C-alpha cells in the first residue's frame, strides 16, 4: 500500500510533484501523520475500526502504512486510544512522556502498552529526541489541561526535519498558576535553536470548570474541589503570541473533532450531534475566527483543521493547506489493497468520494445488466425515484398495490407517466401476496431497491390499523424474503421520522432512542428497521433505511395539508385573475394531470 499512498501524498491538485517529503496530514481530532522521506510518523492516533462509533467508514490503523514510530502527547483517552494501538504492528516504537519529568504522579504507559503487546516503549524526557535520517522529533514540555494541578509528565513535540519545523502543540496551555510554554521561554528557545517553526498545530479550547468535575479531582485537596480550574484554556491572544514566538506561517486549529466518524466526545469544541451542549460549553468563549485577525499582524495564516487535510511546505517558505479530496478517504485507502468492501455494491466501479464516505447512497453503475426494483412505484416518492432512475438509463421494475388510501386516479396517472419509458415494467400486487412480491424481486436480480411501498400517514393508521400490518409488516417481510432469495446487492427502504415518537431532544439524530412510538404507523416503521437489521445480520443483505420527514413537491398526494390549503385558496380566489394565475403556477401538477 505504501507505494500507492506515497503517490497520492506526492500529488498536488494540479498533478505536479512539487514536494515528495515533509507533508503533514490531519487524520481527524489530534491525529497527525508526518511523512519523513520513505517513512511515516504518527502522532496521537485515534483511528476507529469501521462503523465502531458511527454509520460511516472511518480511518483505522490497517488502512495506513506501518508507522516508523508513534508519538503520544498525554494521557487523555482521545490521545491514548487502546483500540487504535491494538491494531498497530507490535514492533512499532511507541514514544511516550517520561516518568523523569513527573512531580508526584505519572501515567503508567508502560503497563498499558506492554499489555497491548508492544515491546518497544520509549520514554522521552523534555529536551530529548528520537532521531531519524536528517533530523529528529524533540520532546517539548506540555503545560496545562490540568484543572487539579497534578502536573503529570506530558509532551508536546517538535519535528525538526532538515530545516523544516512543525510544532505539535496539542492541548497545551497556561496552567492555573500562570506557567506556560511562553512564560518559561520554551517556544522562543525552540525557534532560536532550530530556526523558525512555519507550521503549528494547537487546540483552541477554552475550558474552565469546577475542579470537582474533573476526572482526577479525588487526587487533589478536597478544599479545592469547588475552585474553578483550567482544563485547556487557550485564549486567542495566547495562541497568537505562541505563533509570533515560533515565527509561524500557518496556525492549524485541531484536536476538537474534525471527522464524522468520531463519537460525540466531550472535548469536541463544535459538535454537530449535540448543538445544545456545544452552545453551553462555548457560550463565553472567544470566537475562534477572531484568532485569524490577530495572526495577520504576525504574518501568520489560520486554518481550521478537518480530517484528510494535507499541509505542504512551499518553495517560498510558506505552508499551504490542501484538501486531499477523494485520494485519502477511508474507502479509497481500503480499495488500494482490497477492492470494494463487502458492504458496497460489488459491480459498482464509481470513484469514491467524501459524499460516499459519509453514508450509503444509490450510486451510478456503469453496467446496467440488472434492473432495479422500486416498490410503491405509484406512490409519490416511488414515482419520482423510478422517474429519476429511468431518466439516467436504468431498467426499472415497478411494484404497487394501487390501493385507495387516496384517489386511485392520481396513482394511475403517475403510472401512465412512466409507461412511455421502454425500460420499465409495472406489476400490481397486494402487499400480502408473498409469491407475487418475491417473484418481482427475483425478476429484478440486482435490485438497488427504492423506497418501500408501505402504507403512509399517521392519522390513517388510527382509522385502519389492519391496513398497516398488512402492508408495512407482512408486505415488508415479503420484500425481505425476496431479497434473500434473489441475493440482492443493496436494499434501500423508506422509514419515517415518526419513529422518533415522544422524543423531545432536538435536532433528531439517528443515535436517538426510538422505543416510544406514538402511533401504529410509527411502530410499523420501527418494526421495518428491526426486520431489515435482522436480515442484514443473518443473510448479509446490505440495507439502508431512510427516515423521511415531510416530503412534498409535484405529483404530491391529494391528502396533503398543503395541497388541501392550496385547493381551498384557489377556489376562494378564482374570481381574481392575477391570484388565480399565480396559484395555477404553484398548485401541485396532480391538479391538472387528472384532466389530462
How buried is 513 (Cβ within 10 angstroms: 0-12 exposed, 13-18 middle, 19+ buried)? exposed
CB 407 within 8 A of CB 331: no
List the one residue out of 465, 476, 464 whose CA is nearest residue 432.
476
Per the structure block, which three cell numbers stand in for 403? Answer: 390501493
Per the structure block, which three cell numbers stand in for 589? Answer: 401538477
Residues 6+ apart with CB under 8 A from 219: 105, 148, 150
Find the length of the chain: 596
CA-CA distance, 524 to 532, in Å (whole number)? 12
Q: Is 521 a catalytic residue?
A: yes
Place of cell 515565527: 247
CA-CA distance, 123 to 139, in Å (whole number)? 10
DSSP 391-423: HTT--EEEEE---SSS-HHHHHHHHHHHTTSTT
List the one residue out of 454, 497, 509, 459 whose CA is nearest residue 479.
454
Residue 493, SS3?
A: strand
CA-CA distance, 132 to 583, in Å (whole number)? 73
Strand-by-strand arrangement of the 372-375 sheet: 372-375, 396-400, 424-428
R_g over Cα of the chain: 29
DSSP 19-59: -SS--EEEEETTEEEEEETTEEEEES---PPTTSSSSS---
DSSP 323-336: E-TTTTSHHHHHHH
Per the structure block, which three cell numbers stand in for 352? Answer: 469514491
Q: Compute CA distances 316 → 18, 250, 311, whole Å.
A: 12, 13, 14
Catalytic-labelled residue, pool 34, 238, 493, 521: 521
CB 476 within 8 A of CB 455: no
Place of cell 498499558: 112
What single-letter DSSP state applies at residue 63? G
What single-letter DSSP state applies at residue 204? -
Per the structure block, which three cell numbers stand in for 364? Answer: 451510478
Residue 95, SS3?
A: strand
What sign does the dihedral 490-494-497-501 (CA atoms) show? negative
Q: Give me the numbers of helices (H) and strands (E) for the chain, helices first please.
A: 19, 23
Enumerate the active-site residues.
Answer: 521
Amino acid at each position: 500500500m505504501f507505494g500507492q499512498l506515497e503517490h497520492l501524498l506526492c500529488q498536488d491538485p494540479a498533478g505536479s510533484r512539487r514536494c515528495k517529503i515533509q507533508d503533514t496530514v490531519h487524520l481527524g481530532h489530534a491525529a497527525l501523520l508526518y511523512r519523513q522521506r520513505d517513512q511515516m510518523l504518527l502522532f496521537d492516533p485515534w483511528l476507529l475500526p469501521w462503523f465502531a462509533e458511527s454509520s460511516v467508514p472511518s480511518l483505522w490503523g490497517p488502512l495506513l502504512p506501518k508507522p516508523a514510530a508513534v508519538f503520544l502527547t498525554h494521557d487523555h483517552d482521545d490521545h491514548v486510544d487502546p483500540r487504535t494501538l491494538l491494531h498497530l504492528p507490535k514492533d512499532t516504537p511507541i514514544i511516550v512522556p517520561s516518568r523523569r519529568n513527573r512531580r508526584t504522579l505519572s501515567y503508567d504507559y508502560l503497563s498499558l502498552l506492554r499489555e497491548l503487546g508492544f515491546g518497544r516503549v520509549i520514554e522521552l524526557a523534555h529536551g530529548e529526541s528520537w532521531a531519524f535520517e536528517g533530523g529528529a522529533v524533540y520532546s517539548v514540555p506540555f503545560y496545562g489541561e490540568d484543572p487539579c494541578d497534578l502536573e503529570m509528565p506530558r509532551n508536546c513535540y517538535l519535528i525538526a526535519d532538515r530545516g523544516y519545523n512543525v510544532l505539535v502543540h496539542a492541548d497545551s496551555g497556561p496552567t492555573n498558576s500562570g506557567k506556560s510554554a511562553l512564560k518559561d521561554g520554551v517556544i522562543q528557545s525552540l525557534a532560536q535553536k532550530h530556526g523558525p517553526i512555519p507550521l503549528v498545530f494547537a487546540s483552541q479550547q477554552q475550558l474552565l470548570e469546577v475542579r470537582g468535575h474533573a476526572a482526577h479531582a479525588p487526587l487533589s485537596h478536597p478544599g479545592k474541589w469547588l475552585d474553578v480550574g483550567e482544563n485547556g484554556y487557550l485564549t486567542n491572544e495566547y495562541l497568537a503570541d505562541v505563533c509570533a514566538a515560533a515565527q509561524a506561517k500557518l496556525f492549524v486549529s485541531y484536536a476538537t473533532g474534525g471527522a464524522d466518524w468520531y463519537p460525540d466526545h466531550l472535548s469536541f469544541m463544535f459538535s454537530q450531534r449535540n448543538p445544545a451542549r456545544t452552545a453551553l460549553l462555548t457560550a463565553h468563549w472567544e470566537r475562534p475566527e477572531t484568532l485569524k485577525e490577530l495572526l495577520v499582524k504576525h504574518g501568520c495564516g489560520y486554518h481550521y483543521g478537518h480530517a484528510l487535510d494535507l499541509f505542504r511546505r512551499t518553495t517560498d517558505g510558506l505552508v499551504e493547506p490542501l484538501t486531499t479530496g477523494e485520494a485519502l478517504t477511508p474507502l479509497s485507502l481500503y480499495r488500494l489493497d482490497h477492492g470494494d468492501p463487502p458492504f458496497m455494491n460489488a459491480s459498482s466501479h464509481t470513484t469514491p468520494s467524501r459524499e460516499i464516505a459519509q453514508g450509503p447512497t444509490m450510486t451510478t453503475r456503469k453496467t446496467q445488466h440488472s434492473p432495479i426494483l422500486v416498490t410503491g412505484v405509484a406512490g409519490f416518492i416511488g414515482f419520482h425515484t423510478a422517474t429519476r432512475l429511468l431518466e439516467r438509463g436504468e431498467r426499472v421494475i415497478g411494484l404497487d398495490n394501487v390501493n385507495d388510501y387516496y384517489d386511485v386516479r392520481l396513482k394511475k396517472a403517475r403510472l401512465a407517466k412512466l409507461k412511455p419509458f421502454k425500460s420499465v415494467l409495472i406489476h400490481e400486487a397486494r402487499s400480502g401476496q408473498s409469491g407475487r412480491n418475491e417473484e418481482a424481486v427475483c425478476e429484478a436480480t440486482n435490485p438497488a431497491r427504492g423506497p418501500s411501498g408501505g402504507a403512509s400517514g399517521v392519522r390513517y393508521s388510527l382509522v385502519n390499523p389492519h391496513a398497516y400490518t398488512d402492508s408495512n409488516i407482512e408486505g415488508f417481510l415479503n420484500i425481505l424474503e425476496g431479497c434473500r432469495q434473489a441475493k440482492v446487492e443493496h436494499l434501500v427502504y423508506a422509514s419515517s421520522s415518526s419513529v422518533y415518537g415522544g422524543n423531545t431532544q432536538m435536532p433528531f439524530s439517528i443515535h436517538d432512542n426510538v422505543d416510544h412510538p406514538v402511533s401504529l404507523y410509527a411502530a410499523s416503521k420501527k418494526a421495518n428497521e428491526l426486520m431489515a437489521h435482522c436480515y442484514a445480520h443473518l443473510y448479509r443483505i446490505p440495507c439502508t433505511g431512510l427516515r423521511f420527514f415531510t416530503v412534498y413537491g409535484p405529483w404530491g398526494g391529494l391528502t396533503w395539508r398543503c395541497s388541501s390549503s392550496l385547493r381551498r385558496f384557489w377556489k376562494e380566489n378564482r374570481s381574481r385573475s392575477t391570484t388565480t394565475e399565480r396559484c395555477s403556477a404553484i398548485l401541485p401538477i396532480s391538479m391538472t394531470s387528472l384532466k389530462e
